[in-house]
Amino acid sequence: MYKILLACGAGASSGFVALSMRKSAKKLNIKAEIKAVSDIEIMNYVDDFDILLLGPHIKYKLAEIEAELIGRPVKVLVMDKKRYGALDGAGILEDALAAMQE
């Protein structure tokens, strides 16, 4: 099962993206646990997940978050601007799965 954690400012917009991703995962018959939180809550959840997806509008936090995650196996990926804006759950899921295979 793929465990994907999304984070944005309040966990609100990423919540909608997570919803779209869950629908997509269900359609593609992929077992995934997808959760959206505020970027402030990342450290409380990150150990239970395989990959962390950041909203493009908090891209400037990438270095800070990567520093906090040193030594942990979780991968970090900034979500694509266009896909995030379009609430393209299928596209973002695809990006996440690809990143997890690397």
Partner 1 sequence: MNNYMDKIMAFVENNLSAKLQGATKNAYISGLQSAVSKTIPMIFVSSIITIYNIIRNFAPFLPNLSAISNYSFGLIGLFMGFLVPFYILEKKENKNKYIGGLTGLALYMMTVNPTVTDAGYVYNFTSFGAGGMFVAIIAGVFVVFVFSCFKKFTVFGEDSAMPDFCKEWFDTLLPIFTVIFAGWFVILNCKIDLYSILVNVFRPILDISSTYIGMLLMLLIPTIFYTMGISGWIFSPIFTPIQNTALAANIEAWAAGQPLPFIYTAGLNPGYLKLGGQGNTLPLNYFFLFSKSKRLRSLGKAFLVPGLLNINEPIIFGTIVWNPILMIPCWITAIVNLTMTYLAMRMGLVLAPHVTMGMWYLPVPIPAILVGGIPGLILCLINLGLDAFIWYPFFKVYEKKVMAEDGELEMGKESRYVSS
Q: Which residues bind partner 1 (CB under 8 A)?
A: 8-10, 12-13, 16, 38-40, 55-64, 67, 81-82, 84-87
Report which secondary-structure segment, H or E, holds 76. strand 75-78
68 is catalytic: no
Give which of 73, 92, 80 is closest to 34, Cα–Cα: 92
| Closest to partner 1 by CB, 4 or 37 | 37
Of these residues, 8, 17, 18, 36, which one is catalytic?
8
Q: Crossing angle, helix 13-27 and helix 89-101, to 10 degrees? A: 80
| Closest to partner 1 by CB, 5 or 50 | 5
State the catalytic residues: 8
